[in-house]
Structure 1
Amino acid sequence: MTKIFIQDKATFKTTARTYTDAGFLLVPGRVAKTGTQKYLRRELGLDGDPNATVTVYRPPEEVFADDSLASFDGADITVMHPGELVNAKNYKKTSVGFIKGPGRADGDFVAADLIVKDADAIKMIEERGFVELSAGYTAEYDHAPGTTDDGTDYDYIQRSIRINHAALLPAGAARAGRQARIFDNQPKGNTMTKLTLDSGRSVEIQDEATAALVSDYIDRLKKQVTDSNAEMDKRQATIDGQSEQIEKLKAETADDAVNTRVQAVLDARTKAEKVAPGLTFDSTDPVAIQRAALAKARPTVDWAEKSDAYVQAAFDMAADQVETTDAHAEQKKKLAEDGAKQVKEQPKPAYDSYAARFTQSKE
C-alpha cells in the first residue's frame, strides 16, 4: 500500500457560534464520515484516465481508529487548501486556527471542535459564507474490490487515516454529504427551512436537520442520474467506436482494396530485388520492404528513424537509378553486339585487310 496526501470535502452549515474574550471563534462540527466516497484517479495517483472516478470505502474501524481520531488534535485550520500538507515552511501563510482535542464518533461521522483565531478568516465565515469544511489528510489505499453491507461496490479501502488540516470553503463541492455540518443549538420557536425541488416547487420543512437530509437525498439521486448518463455515454462511445472499426475493416477487406494492397506489395518486392539484389523479404508491408532494401543499399543511413514518406521517396529514386543504369548497360551491350556483327559481315578481302593491320601482315 502507498501512503499519499488527499483532500476530503464535507459540507457544514452555519452553527450557533461561541466567541472567546479574545475574539476567537469556537465551532464544533462533523469533519469526516464512514462509508463510500468517489475520488478522481489522479487524486490517488492512479494510472489511466486522470478524470475517471474510483469508489473508496472508509470502514468504521479505520475512520474511528484511536490513532486516526487522535490525529485531529492540534490539526490546523486553513482557508481553502494550501495545495500541500501544512508544515513548518508554510504554517504562517496557511494556518488560521486549529482543532482542539481528538475527534469523536458521532453516528457515521467524526465530530471535532474547531477554534478559528484569524480575524479575516472569521469574517469570511460570517460575511462570505465560508462554512463548509474539507479535511486534508494522508491515508493508505488498499486495492481490495468488494461490496458494502448496503450493496455499494468499491475499488479501494482507505486505511491509516491521519488528519493534517481542515479547510474552510465557500458553499458547494460536498463529498461527505450535507449531513456533515457544524452543529446548531436547538433554536427557540419553529424555524422553517425552504427547499426548492427540481420541478421548481418550493416546500418548507420545519426541522433543519430533516431539510438537510432531504436535500442530501435529492443530491444523491441527481448524482446517480448523472453517473448513469455518463456511463451510457461511455458505452455509446464504445459502440460507435466499434462500428467505425467494423466499417474500416470492411473497407480494408473489399476486393478492390485487397487487390490494390497485393499489387503494392508485389511492386515493392520487384523494385526491392533490383535495389538490393539477393535480399529476401518476408514482410507484406510495402514500406517495411522498402526500408529493408534501402538499409542494404545505403547502410550508412538510419532508415528506422525516417518517416514513411521519406522512405518511399528515397526508394523510388533508388529504383529509378537502377532502371536507368540497367537501360544504359543494355544499350551499350546492344551497340557492342551490333558493331561486332557489322565487322563479321564485311567482305573477306576487306576483313582480311582489317585484320592485317592488327597482325602487321601484308598481302
Structure 2
Amino acid sequence: MKAAILKTLDHRWLPAARSNRARGLWFAGLLAVLAIFLILSVTIGTRDVEWADIAAVLCGVQDNIGQAAVALRIPRTFLALLAGAALGLAGAIMQGVTRNPLADPGILGVNMGASLAVVIGVAWFGMSSAHAYIWTAIGGAGCAAVFVYTIGSLGRGGATPLKLALAGAATSVAFASMVIAVVLPRGDIAGGIHAWQVGGVGGATYERIVPVLPFLAIGFAISLLSARKLNSLALGDELAAGLGEHVAATRAIASLGAILLCGATTAVCGPIGFLGLVVPHLCRNLIGVDHRWLLPFSALGGAVLLLGADILGRIVARPGEIDVGIVTALIGAPFFIWIVRRQRVREL
C-alpha cells in the first residue's frame, strides 16, 4: 500500500514516473560529468600544467612549479567534491523534512547561523583549532535551524513553506548584521573573516579537510538512511503516522544529518548559498520524488555544480579567480526567483 501511494505521489509531481533504467542512465551521465570536472579542476588555473606533472604529483614527486600547482589543486578539488555533495544532500533533506520547495541551508538561515557562531568564537573566545571551528559551526547551524522552524511554526497553519522561507530570510539578514557588528571592532581578524564569509574552496589543504571527514561521514550516513522515512513524510504527517512512522523523530534525525553536513562544510569553506536549493530541484525534475534516488542524485549533482562553479570562477577572472560562493549566488538567485514564480508562493 505504501509503495502504491508513493507511486501515485510521483505521478502527481511529474508528468510521468521515471523508470529505474532512465534514472540509472542519468546517474551514469552525472558520474561522467563529475569525472570530467575532476580532471578540469586539477588542470585549469593560473598556470597551465602538463599531464606529466599530474602523474608525477600522484606518484609523490614535486620538482617544479607546475607540479607544485597540481599539488595545491588536488586538495582543493577534493574539498569542492565533498562540500558540493554535502550541501546538495543537505538541501534535499531540508526540502523533504519541511515539504518546502524553497528550503535551502542558506535561505533557512542555517549556514548563516553556523557562520555567526564561528565568528563569535573567533572574536570573543580566541578560537583557533579546527575541531573547535567544526563543533561551533554545527552548534550554530543546529540553533539556527531550531529557531527558524520555531518562528515559522507560530500562528495559524503551522510551519508553511512561505512562513519558513520568510523566517529563514529574516534570520539570515539578522545574523549577517550581527556578524558585521561582532567583526567591526576587530580589525585584526576582519580581513580573514570577510574572506571566509564569501565562501570558497581556495587554499584547501589536507590538514583542513581531515578533521571534518568524520562529521561529513556521519552526516552522509544519517541523511541517506533517512530516504524511506522521507518518502513517508512526503505523503503528509497524518498518513505517515498511519503507516507507522514516528513523524517527529523522523524529522529530527533527518535534520540532524543535514545540520552535520551544513555545519562541517561551513566550518571549512564558509557559507555557500543556493547550491542546496538549485540541485534538488533539478534532480527532482530528472528522476522524480523518490528520496531513495533523489538523495544520492542530489549529493552527486551538488558535487558537479560546485566543481563546475569553482572551475568557472578560475576561468572568467584569470589570472585571478572568483570564489565559488559568488558564482553559486549568481546562479542561484535567479533560480530562486524562478522557483518562487513557478510555485506561486502565495498559494504554498
TM-score, normalised via structure 2 length: 0.19
Higher relative contact order (CA 8 A, sep 6+): 2
Q: Which has the higher helix share?
A: 2
Give the TM-score normalised by structure 1: 0.18
Structure with more of its chain in strand, by fraction: 1
